Structure 1
């Protein structure tokens, strides 16, 4: 079994405030988990402790039935059966692609080493590239070779340290898809450390949001987006519309956008922050009966959709509305706003 368990991980540097404050995380066997958070939240420290490059002040790291680090225990990195894919590939420039991939196969018989190298190159879609040098590859190809190198020794766990940062946006999605397919083909458990929300949601089976050295929420991408644990997570993971609201007697919240049905009972809350997503708002004709009226303050067009910002009465911050298809409004137009679906309510 290659389930990763991290319990009570704590780490500080000298006299500074702790970077990790009892971080807890479980990654099921064969799953790809994204550790997502803003700069300085502790995600890189977490990765380096799991890899064995740092000692934790407290807590335990367990992979399957093996304790990698804990009270009185610290396995060195080379004994952890962990593969690492660093930023920008970090291939050895003086070694061929095949020798880069085979680098970690020490003690493996030559024929088997060659066979496994060819297998890994085929797995990442670069069969026949073994004789090339790293400088002859594109950035995306170098990242796939770095993954092949990490997978060749058949690790129980693969750690990916923001491996797509150096790639342009057109290439990034394709390489992410290739990496995910290769990981699933080998059955390795994997942890992707990233600050890119879109990357985490589109790539991982689980997303753990880290804030101030703790996991604030760990869930599937869909549940994390649809049911964030608090307004901060809602605003950090994707775009959010946050409105003050008071609870009506029939399980709705009264807001500046009108009454909004609540997804779960308010559990005694009489007021709080209502959380909506921009795709839950609709632009309609300002003259329609019973709508909330506002003025379009900005339009950001992305091709597949657009974000239209509307200032409405009774709310200090303009709300964002995601619009698909042809743009029905321009900046300065009057527009009506209507809410569809249910919202979350938080203290």
Structure 2
């Protein structure tokens, strides 16, 4: 089994252009970890350092106890046993599907190459497609072939560089599920670079939120969403309702009422209280918290209702399932369910 240890990795593209600032990350063996962050935060730079395409200015990268990059050490990419799935598959257009998958199987005889290739094609759900050419495949099929090619040599680590970006939304969810199933079937350790919050939360076992060259939080998708490290992470990973509050005896006093806290601090303190939009419910106006509907955005499976809350400067968003019974300009009450999180 292969774990990944990234310790104190720094990289700058000039004296005034630091990208990675002593980044630390641990990925347990057999885990699919997502590097999630906005453009320019250092995700792709880190991936290129792990792959061996870039040299880090400082820090170490260890995979399965083997140092790939560190003081006085920089293994070339071809010696790292790392498979890479690029953004648009990047299949060799002049090679058949089978020859693309078998490309990295240099130490195998012909029968072993053929057997491994067929095994990988079956794994990604494209058995029988070996004689086709890349241009005869759909975008989703090409991405699955790129994954089969990366997995065929049994790499120590698989890197996926925003591999679903070129796919339309109807294909994306299905291909993501196929890729995740294939990785789990082989027990591969993988790093997925993405700026898509939904993709990270629905696909990965572990989500590392990267901000300005450091990991701001690394945890399971559920914990990152439910208990973000700070308000910035809360806003970046999904929609967030952030309101001021004062805490005392395990609850927070806010304009939305007294809310129980998931991890209440000792004593009395002030801070920002975090709720998710699905924790808020519209109700009749005979409640403590009231406001005026300012906008309704319909998404099909649900809708987002924006409310200007009495006593609060910024409006809040409420996610409503099913038919929406309110319209802009209408008064409504607001109830909160579940626990809130406080950020002092």
Give the TM-score category using the shorter length.
over 0.9
- Superposed, which structure 2 residues align to 1:288-303 within 5 Å? 288=286, 290-303=287-300
Give distance in 1, aligned partners of 2:241 and 2:112: 56
TM-score w.r.t. length of structure 1: 0.97
Per-residue Cα deviation, 1:173-220 (whole angstroms, up to 9, x for no partner):
000000000000111100000000000000000000000100000000
SS of alignment partner, residue 49 of structure 1? helix
> 1:331: which partner in 2?
328
* CA distance in 1: counterparts of 2:245 and 2:86, whole angstroms: 45
Q: Which runs of 5+ in 2 are unaligned?
A: none
Once residues 161 and 255 of structure 1 are traced to their aligned partners in structure 2, the CA distance between those partners, rounded to angstroms, is 42
Hey, what does 1:314 align to over in structure 2?
311
Residue 267 of structure 1 deviates from its aligned partner by 3.2
Question: Would you identify which runs of 4 or more consecutive aligned residues in structure 1 move more than 3 Å?
Answer: none
Which residue number in structure 2 is paired with residue 263 of structure 1?
262
**Which residue does 1:76 correspond to in 2?**
76
Q: Which secondary structure does the structure 2 equivalent of 1:329 belong to? A: coil
SS state at 2:53 partner = coil
Residue 57 (structure 1) aligns with: 57
Q: How does 1:26-45 map to 2 (within 5 A)?
A: 26-45=26-45
Deviations 1:119-156 (A, max 9, x none): 10000000011111111110000000000000010101
Separation of aligned partners in 2, 1:311 and 1:325:
22
DSSP 3-state at the match of 2:191: strand
Paired residues in the alignment total: 344
Q: 1:46 to 1:127 in 2, by over 3 A?
A: same
- Give the deviation of 1:291 after TM superposition: 3.0
* TM superposition score normalised by structure 2: 0.98
Question: Which residue of the partner structure matches residue 204 of structure 1?
Answer: 204
Indicate yes or no: 2:184 matched with 1:181.
no
SS in 1 for 2:18: coil
1:268-287 residue pairs with structure 2 within 5 A? Answer: 268=267, 270-286=269-285
Deviations along 1:235-282, one digit per CA (max 9) or x if unpaired, are 1000000001112x3322111212211111223451000000001101
User: What CA distance in whole angstroms lies between the structure 2 residues aligned with 1:170 and 1:303?
Assistant: 15
The CA RMSD measured in Å over matched residues stands at 1.0
Other-structure match for 1:191: 191
Equivalents in 2 of 1:46, 1:65: separation in Å? 19
Looking at structure 2, the residues matched to 205 and 257 of structure 1 have their Cα atoms a distance apart, in angstroms, of 34
Q: Quote the offset at 1:11 in angstroms.
A: 0.5
Match of 1:47 in 2: 47
**Distance in 1 between the 2:133 and 2:45 partners?**
32
Partners of 1:153 and 1:327 lie apart in 2 by: 53
Provide Cα deviations, 1:312-343, integer angstroms capped at 9, x if missing partner. Answer: 11111110101111112122211111111111
SS in 2 for 1:19: strand
